[in-house]
Chain A
Amino acid sequence: QKEVEQNSGPLSVPEGAIASLNCTYSDRGSQSFFWYRQYSGKSPELIMSIYSNGDKEDGRFTAQLNKASQYVSLLIRDSQPSDSATYLCAVKVPNGGSQGNLIFGKGTKLSVKP
Chain B
Amino acid sequence: GAVVSQHPSRVICKSGTSVKIECRSLDFQATTMFWYRQFPKQSLMLMATSNEGSKATYEQGVEKDKFLINHASLTLSTLTVTSAHPEDSSFYICSAPLLKQGGGTEAFFGQGTRLTVV
Most chain A beta-carbon neighbours within 10 Å: one of B1, B106, B109, B114: B109
Query: Does residue B61 face the partner (Cβ distance < 8 Å to A)?
Result: no
Query: Does residue A14 face the partner (Cβ distance < 8 Å to B)?
Result: no
Q: Which residues of B contact A18 (CB under 8 A)?
A: none
Given known contacts A99-B99, A99-B105, A102-B34, what 19 new A-B pairs fall within 8 Å (CB)? A42-B111, A43-B6, A43-B93, A43-B110, A43-B111, A44-B93, A44-B109, A46-B106, A49-B104, A51-B104, A88-B44, A90-B107, A92-B105, A98-B105, A99-B31, A101-B34, A103-B46, A104-B43, A106-B42
Interface residue ranges, A against B (CB under 8 Å): 32, 34, 41-46, 49, 51, 88, 90, 92, 98-107
Interface residue ranges, B against A (CB under 8 Å): 1, 6, 31-32, 34, 42-46, 49, 91, 93, 95, 97, 99, 104-112, 114
